[in-house]
Structure 1
Amino acid sequence: MDFIDSLDVQLEKEFYYPGETINGVVLLSTIANVKIRGIFVTLRGKVQVQWKVVRNGAVYTVRNCHILIDHKQTVYGPDTSDVTSDLPVLKKGIHKIRFNFLLNDTELPSSFESKLGTIRYLLQTSVDIPYASPPQNVKHFSVIGKQQERPPHEWLVPITLERHNQNMCMACSHGSLSLEVALNRTAFCCGENMPLRLEIVNGINLKVWPVIQLIQKVDYCVDKTGFGIRKDVVHTVWEYKGPTVPKQSTMKLENLSQVLQVPVMPPTTSTCDIIRIEYKLKVSIVTLKWGEPLHIAFPILITPFYQKEDNTKTVLKPAIAEVEGGNYISPELQCGAVYDGTDGEAWETTLYQPVYVCVPNKGVVMKTPSTPEIIHQQTHSNDRKSVTTEIEVSESRVSSL
């Protein structure tokens, strides 16, 4: 960097909400007096998706990009493009130059990092030197989505869902199955427990048991015109297998909140057309030989908002490795030593990783299937048929008590 010894940016904190002011300092160290045209800081937010597809034997790269924020500020030097004016001289030594940006109070999506797509917010600093290469610095930070406010009312009301399957015949085991699911709300912050209640009526001559799954679905879109290319990635965040229900009996499960906990993961994102993140809770009745003859699925809202009567304070943590958004760190966000063949181990340092609001709580060990389901689609049609009985409850069709 010629006469520039070091260039760095320091922020008051590593995360921000929309509507907050970003206060920072540019730290610049010079080894001699140097003439510069100016020091510029750019606030940029960008959503980008990219992956490869194969068509007619050829490999193509498809991508889509959308700029959320792009503001440039001159923090030192004349705010003019007149090259004939006298250039300011930056004296030898260490310089601290303060700056601030106001984040838009809009529906900004939360920061997100995955192999297929990213939602990034960064500050790019550059020093314009007329007779030398301009040094640059990039500082990433996390943005917590607009949902810091109270979630909509429909997510905070109790719901009760029922499903019955009459006149079942499983190897001449006639009877009926009944499943009732009750939940006092469907909006949760990471780290909270789910107070789920179940009632299972087993009227067949087979043993059954409940299986509860929290499922994440991330939709990456290259074009939303109806004929675009889309890729859906589905992860089972965790899976809980309940006790066995004997044949011709009824069982109620009331204390499931002790074993069902929302892990740290990206919040629900519905304001971005390129990357959409959704969650649903699936409750199934499983038999040994006949799979899932009955199950209920309904949407779950993961939100940064948390409100309780106690004085519990939220913390910020990176997402777990079992979900999209926590299982991948881009090489450009890592810094490490190159292995030189000696006995010492090469080290790696993560320069940046998105963080999310979490309620500090004792972790619950859940069984987590690690293999995601990837669905490739050429259109936005999402019609799929299932051989099992299913209830899909959308946001507007959740029945409340």
Structure 2
Amino acid sequence: MHKMGKLKSFQIILSENKTVFHPGGKIMGKVIVELKGDMKMRSLRIFMRGVAKVHWTESRSTGSRLGSYTEHYNAEVEYFFKRQVLFGGEVSEGRDTLTEGRHEFKFHFDLPMGGIATSFEGKHGSIRYWLKAEMDKPWSFNTKTKKAFTVISPIDINKPEYQVCVESSVEKTLCCWLFTSGPISITARTDRRGYCPGESIAISAEFDNLSKRTVIPYATLYQTQTFFASGKSRIRKTKFTVLTGLPVGPGTRGSWDSQLLKIPPVSPSIINCCVMKVDYFVKVALHIPGAYNLTIHLPIIIGTVPYRGGPHSYADSRFFHEAQALLAAAAYLDVPNPPPYRETITPPPPFEDPPTYVESVGGAVNLWDDDDDDNTSPENNMGDLTYTPMYTYVYNYRPPPRYSDVVQSDVDHIVFPSIDFLNGGDGS
């Protein structure tokens, strides 16, 4: 335990212990100072900062006996830097005395309404937001305390573009010396494109195996982190949940009907940061003994506003079934496609309860970085130097119906309209 002299406690407390905020939110709290005696200081200040930072190294050969050298790649974007003086003044010659005892200094900051990305801690970079209080004391090193908080840039997966399924297929033929085996193919789809952590991806697939080998289907959730600096990029892939199916024997077909792939508490997709991005995809594959695996990638979005199922879901709306009927009838009668879909018809219902947040599956990180002065060691920082991002998590997720049930339900509800209605009439 290091000695701090008269300073007994120095910490930042956020109002209502809130640690997750959205763009445009208010950051309120107080700085607590406890002294065992009177203390002179120039000022007590608090700063709020948001920074996206990237760094990685690559080894380069000199092509000579000198060997190799290390090249550094760095990029940084400062989203905001705000400050308030809580005690004393801005003039460095000023001397004020803070008396013995406990003192509370309230502060209030506003986050920008837009242009800031979700908090993220990655392999070669981070998007980080924090508060730092600093005591400027005469004839001594400054004392600091830090507290990080999570910012979540909203992605509402209830928007129509995130409710469509993602589908793909692939086929290959195995060759063995002079003989060619029958084709092996995968056709797979997700129940939608957008999800939140805690929800499950319902995967439906057909695996056709006309070869003479037994193959094994599996699906994996992947995260791709891409970092940008100095005109170059660095990519890191992380594998999360894995789902393995039953073997598919030679000359047979296997199928999945809404097999569930659970999403852990991962970062939302990050698509609005210029120095890094975070993407997700589901890999559906067949393990083929003695040959390269057959794979397809189904890109998805990880959002922050959970899916509103039940009677208010988009797929159950009157408009959805009317649109399905129009599309089916147009295909059946070979008429031109209807006009493009208008994004909003009725606003979705509000949440009854606020979202639940869970610590990131990536775990805690250390907050000590280059932002802190070189002449200030960690012993002069009294704050908690560890931080774990918090992300939206759905506990009460209800799995979707099986894909075959949904398809049959849609067929049962389709009513083919008349030619007049398709051509702009009232259908009477």
On whether the aligned pair clears a TM of 0.5, the verdict is yes
In the alignment, the residues of structure 2 paired with residue 115 and residue 173 of structure 1 have an alpha-carbon distance, to the nearest angstrom, of 44
Aligned to 1:354: 389
Aligned to 1:338: none
Cα distance, 1:20 vs structure 2: 0.8
Cα distance, 1:297 vs structure 2: 0.9
Aligned to 1:31: 36
Aligned to 1:202: 209
Aligned to 2:228: 221
Aligned to 1:301: 301
Aligned to 1:50: 55
1:194 match: secondary structure: strand
**Equivalent residue for 1:319, pick from 360, 367, 370:** 360
What is the identity, as a one-letter code, of the residue corresponding to 1:305?
Answer: V
1:154 match: secondary structure: helix
In the alignment, the residues of structure 2 paired with residue 153 and residue 299 of structure 1 have an alpha-carbon distance, to the nearest angstrom, of 16
Deviations 1:296-334 (A, max 9, x none): 2121111122133476864322232xxxxx16733849x
The verdict on how the C-alpha distance between 1:176 and 1:316 changes in structure 2, with shifts beyond 3 A counting, is same
In the alignment, the residues of structure 1 paired with residue 106 and residue 213 of structure 2 have an alpha-carbon distance, to the nearest angstrom, of 71
Correspondence 1:283 to 2:277: no
Counting only pairs closer than 5 Å after superposition, residues 70-81 of structure 1 correspond to structure 2 as 70-78=81-89, 81=91
**Equivalent residue for 2:115, pick from 83, 107, 120:** 107
Cα distance, 1:3 vs structure 2: 4.4
In the alignment, the residues of structure 1 paired with residue 210 and residue 162 of structure 2 have an alpha-carbon distance, to the nearest angstrom, of 33
In the alignment, the residues of structure 2 paired with residue 192 and residue 284 of structure 1 have an alpha-carbon distance, to the nearest angstrom, of 22
In the alignment, the residues of structure 2 paired with residue 141 and residue 129 of structure 1 have an alpha-carbon distance, to the nearest angstrom, of 27
Contact 2:154 2:305 in 1 (8 A): no
The verdict on how the C-alpha distance between 1:185 and 1:312 changes in structure 2, with shifts beyond 3 A counting, is farther
Counting only pairs closer than 5 Å after superposition, residues 328-343 of structure 1 correspond to structure 2 as 329-330=365-366, 332=368
RMSD over equivalenced CA pairs, Å? 2.8
Aligned to 2:316: none
The verdict on how the C-alpha distance between 1:82 and 1:140 changes in structure 2, with shifts beyond 3 A counting, is closer
Answer 1 or 2: which has greater helix percent: 2
Aligned to 2:127: 119
Cα distance, 1:270 vs structure 2: 1.4
Contact 2:219 2:243 in 1 (8 A): yes
**Equivalent residue for 2:150, pick from 142, 162, 169:** 142
Deviations 1:223-279 (A, max 9, x none): 2xxxx332211122233221111222222211412xx10111122111112221111
Contact 1:173 1:206 in 2 (8 A): no
In the alignment, the residues of structure 2 paired with residue 199 and residue 60 of structure 1 have an alpha-carbon distance, to the nearest angstrom, of 47
**Equivalent residue for 1:193, pick from 191, 194, 200:** 200
In the alignment, the residues of structure 2 paired with residue 186 and residue 70 of structure 1 have an alpha-carbon distance, to the nearest angstrom, of 36
1:254 match: secondary structure: strand
How many residues of Structure 1 are paired with residues of Structure 2 in the alignment? 330
Contact 1:29 1:94 in 2 (8 A): yes
- Return the index of the structure with the highest Cα Rg: 2
Cα distance, 1:192 vs structure 2: 0.6
Contact 2:216 2:246 in 1 (8 A): yes
**Equivalent residue for 1:61, pick from 69, 72, 75:** 72
TM-score by length of 1: 0.74
Deviations 1:39-76 (A, max 9, x none): 21110111222233222212343322221111111223
Q: List runs of 5+ in structure 2 lacking aligned partners.
A: 63-67, 311-351, 370-383, 398-428
The verdict on how the C-alpha distance between 1:76 and 1:330 changes in structure 2, with shifts beyond 3 A counting, is closer
In the alignment, the residues of structure 1 paired with residue 72 and residue 364 of structure 2 have an alpha-carbon distance, to the nearest angstrom, of 20
Contact 1:314 1:360 in 2 (8 A): no
In the alignment, the residues of structure 1 paired with residue 291 and residue 96 of structure 2 have an alpha-carbon distance, to the nearest angstrom, of 79
The verdict on how the C-alpha distance between 1:242 and 1:248 changes in structure 2, with shifts beyond 3 A counting, is same
1:62 match: secondary structure: strand
Correspondence 1:16 to 2:21: yes
Contact 2:364 2:387 in 1 (8 A): no
The verdict on how the C-alpha distance between 1:254 and 1:350 changes in structure 2, with shifts beyond 3 A counting, is farther
Contact 1:115 1:328 in 2 (8 A): no
2:164 match: secondary structure: coil
Cα distance, 1:200 vs structure 2: 1.9
Deviations 1:197-234 (A, max 9, x none): 111222233322212121211112222xxxx3322111
Contact 1:115 1:330 in 2 (8 A): no
1:45 match: secondary structure: strand
